[in-house]
Every structure is written in structure tokens, then in C-alpha cells.
Amino acid sequence: MSVVAGLFQKAATGPDRRWWVLGAVECGNFVVYMDAFIVTLALPAMASQFGVGLHEVKWVMLSYMIALTASLLVAGRLGDRIGRKTVTLLGMAGLAGGSLACLLAPTLAVLIVCRAVQGIGGALVLANVMAEITAVFPKVERRRAMAINASVLAMGQVVGLLVGGALIGACGWRSIFLVIAGISLAGLVLDVLILRNQERSGAGRFDLPGALLSLPLVGVPFLLVERLASRTAQGFPWEVLAVGLGLLAVFLVVELRTASPLLDPRVFRLRAYVCGSFAAAAYFVAAASCYFLVPLYAQAVLGLTPFQAGLLMLPLSVALTAASQVIGGLSKYISARVVASLGLLCTAGGVFALSFLGPTAMLLVVAGIVALVGAGGGLFHPPNNTSVLAAVPPSMLGSANGFFTMSRNFGQALGVSLAAAILGATVAGTGAGKLLAGYHPEHARETVFAIYTSGQSAAFHVAAIIGVAGAIVSAFRGPPIVTPPPEDLKAPATASR
């Protein structure tokens, strides 16, 4: 025991501490993204057990993602005020406790609420991951650390699919939450031993009005998607759009007038920050459609087991990891805006290719396309993450990273919401809507599969278009930042020529 204690003491104070910090925060990063997608393969089993369809069971995923996204701004600001370590520990504890509650959930409604609790815990963890990396790594090593961060993100998503598939087949869907709880507790111990609280910028009152306004503001786009996808909707829901724009206007006014805002509006003067945040959201819309739809398609149409469906996604993680490590080593020679934009185009192209999948697609073809999606992510993440946070003054890292991480997770949640809404609207009222619950009709089999894949194709088309839009915006982020702007943001950041 003394040997272990000595090892962790050395890790917390030694010259290589930054790498131990990276390992500690990436444990949290891993479990948050694993938790986001580990339930994907369980959705058919949940739908069958609770007797519901895609429209209801999708909220097991979306409640987690929306709660996570809505809480990120508050979590980032709390990291600045009370310390990133404290907030991270609360988040890991929330993930563990929420997982155990999901394990025991007796109904779908209770499970959805417990998943939202997990999402809040995930926000407390994620809001401080990249801020911690930026704080402890010198610029010369930062992009390498960001490449590792991107690899862990992909590993969490795909390992979640693999582990989830294996556990669902062997022990049932509830067992996946026991795994999440165990990893969260292990990460909690590591964070206690390794992380330190930074100097706090806790002056001023907490921005409670901004926090209260940000929560419904994040939810408006998802309500808009639901209304548009509803078969009973009469025309465009202009009232929802009006409420969203009104909330946004009030939020901006409140933040501009508050001495200690939840999100300092001055960061939106930074072109690299704004373009990179938008590009990140667009990337995750495109990628999430792949993570969500391909495993469901593999089970519902191709007839694979949950574990086989998870295995089909493994090439994505391998390609993303390989590409991120390669580009991390070449980062000093290639502009971030060029590589990030090309990576996003690569992902969008892969998502567009997925729209051509039919009931008889070859598994090798599917694996090759998801690898292309992953390779694009590996090219996109390291330069985009580095360039965005390099533009931000150190005292704003927590809140700025909170918004940036919120942009990523908003895109992820919106991608799943759009994909589920488009697919659900297409298959509603048809036999194709029962495919996820294991129903395979003896008659009209080809017709049912054709309806399902047509809805899937439409969802991939929308996701690919959003990915291309993100690549265009990414290209306008400006030259690389050498030194961040001063704290008052009155002087521009120094850019390389």
C-alpha cells in the first residue's frame, strides 16, 4: 500500500505530473463518452421490455445528452469559481450514483430521469477536461495531448458499443450501468490523488439569472426538432422559434450587464474561438448520426447481434486514433484551419456515403465507410481543439471551455435528435417501426426494409450537409494563434504569419 501511495505522491508532484493529470482527466472523458453511446445497442432490448417504440426509447440517450449539454456552461463557470478539481470530483460521483440508479430503474420514465442525473455529472467532468490540459501542458506539447484526448473520446464511444454489445447479450441491458459505475468510482479515486485546484477566480456573485436562462435556451432546438417531426404538427412551429430567439436576446443582455457572467460575451470577438466552436458542433452532428444509426441498422436490418454491431464500429475508433496521432506529429507544419476543415469534409463525405446503405450491404463496405468517418474525426479534433483554446485568456479558460464543450455536446445531442426524428417520422405507422423491437415480417420484408433505409438515408443526408457547412466555417477561423489575447481582450491575439 505504501508503494502505491508513494507512486501517486510522485505522480502528483513530480516533473511528469502533466501526463498523470492527462490520464486522470481522460478517465473522466472516457467514461462520459462511453456512457453516451453504451446504451445505443440496448435501445432495441429496452424498447422490447418496456413495450415502446423509437420515439419513446430514444429519450434514454437524449435525456443524458441534453442534460449534459444544458449543464456545461454552469459547470465551466463553477470550475473557475470553486476549482476544477472540486467540480470534477462532484461530476464523477454523480456519474457513479446515477449509474447505480439506472441499474435499479423500474420503469422507462424513471430510467430517463436517472440518465439525466448522469448527464449532469458528465457535464461537471467534461467542462474542465480541456481547460485542465491547456493549463498544465506547454504549447509545444499541447497538440499531442489534444490528439490523445481525441483518441480517448473515440475509444470511449466505440468501447461503449463493444462492451455494451457483449454485456447485453450475456447479462441483459441493466449490466451496462454497473460497468459505468465501476469505472466512474475508479476515476474518482484517481482524480482525488492526482488533480489540484487551480487559483480561483471566484470574485463577484454567481450569475444565477444567466444559469436559469441557459437551461431552457439549450432545450429549444430539440423542442423545435420534435415539433417538426411530429405527424400532428400543423405547419412550422414559429412560436417555438420566437421563444428561442427571445430567450437568446434576454440571455445576451443579462450576460453583458452582469459583472461576473456565466459566459463572458467578449470571447465571441475571437474569430478562431467562434469558428472552431461552430465547426465542432457541426462535426458532432455528422458523427453522431453514424454512432446512432449504424448500430441500429446493423441489428434491425442486417440481423447482427448487439456485440457484432458494436464490433462493426471498431474501425471508426482505430482510424480516428491513427489519424489523430499522425496529425499530432505534423501539427507544427500544417495550419489548423486547413487540417480541421479537411477532416470535417472527410467525415461529412463518410456520412453521405452511409446514406447509400441498403438491406444487402456488405459488412466490409460498412466498416470501410465508418473508418472514413473516424479518420475525418482524427484529422479534425486535435487542431480544432488547440486553436480554439489558444485564443482564450487563461482566466476565461473554464467558462470558454464550458461553452466550447457545450457546442460539441450540443452537436452530438442534436445529431441523435435529428437522426431519430427523421427515421421515426419515416417509419411511423409502418411495420418498419417495429424492426428495432426485433420484429421481422414474413411478408413484405423487402418493403419494410426499404422504408427503414429510406428514413436512414434522409437522416444521413441532413447530417452530411451540416458537416459541410461546418467545414466551410472552419476555413474562416484565421491564422494560427501564437499568444492568447490579454485578459481584457482589448488587444488582438498574436498570430503567426
Q: What was the pLDDT predicted at 33?
A: 83
pLDDT-based confidence at residue 259 (cuts at 50, 70, 90): confident
Looking at residues 98-102, what average pLDDT do you find? 94
Residues 185-194 pLDDT 10s:
998 999 888 8
Residue 67: which of 120, 128, 121, 125 has the closest Cα?
Answer: 120
Q: What is the DSSP string of 387-441?
A: HHHHTS-GGGHHHHHHHHHHHHHHHHHHHHHHHHHHHHHHHTTSGGGGGGGT---
Q: What was the pLDDT predicted at 221?
A: 87
Whether pLDDT at 56 is above 50: yes
Q: What was the pLDDT predicted at 481?
A: 55
Looking at residues 414-424, what average pLDDT do you find? 89
Q: What was the pLDDT predicted at 365?
A: 95
**486 or 162: which leads in pLDDT:** 162
One domain for residues 289 and 317: yes
Residues 195-210 pLDDT 10s:
887 665 555 677 788 8
One domain for residues 264 and 251: no
Residues 72-86 pLDDT 10s:
888 877 877 788 888
Name the CA dihedral angle for 324, 410, 92, 177, rounded to a multiple of 10 degrees: -90
Of these ranges, 406-410, 433-437, 459-463, the one predicted with the greatest mean pLDDT is 459-463
One domain for residues 298 and 212: no
One domain for residues 143 and 238: no
Whether residue 492 lies inside any domain: the answer is: no
By the 8 A CB rule, do 282 and 470 touch?
A: yes
Name the CA dihedral angle for 290, 285, 148, 77, rounded to a multiple of 10 degrees: -150
- Rg over CA atoms, the chain: 22
Q: What was the pLDDT predicted at 414?
A: 92
Whether pLDDT at 445 is above 50: yes
Q: What was the pLDDT predicted at 497?
A: 39
Looking at residues 462-489, what average pLDDT do you find? 78
One domain for residues 302 and 342: yes
Angle, alpha carbons 418-419-423 (nearest 5°): 115
Domain around 232? 208-257
Whether residue 494 lies inside any domain: the answer is: no
Residues 226-247 pLDDT 10s:
877 765 556 777 888 898 889 8
What is the domain count for the chain?
2
By the 8 A CB rule, do 101 and 117 touch?
A: yes
One domain for residues 95 and 49: yes
Task: Determine if the pTM surpasses 0.85.
Answer: no
Identify the CATH number of the domain in which residue 321 sits. 1.20.1250.20
What one-letter code names the amino acid at 147?
A
Taking all residues of the chain, what is their mean pLDDT, rounded to a whole number? Answer: 82
Whether residue 495 lies inside any domain: the answer is: no
Looking at residues 364-369, what average pLDDT do you find? 95
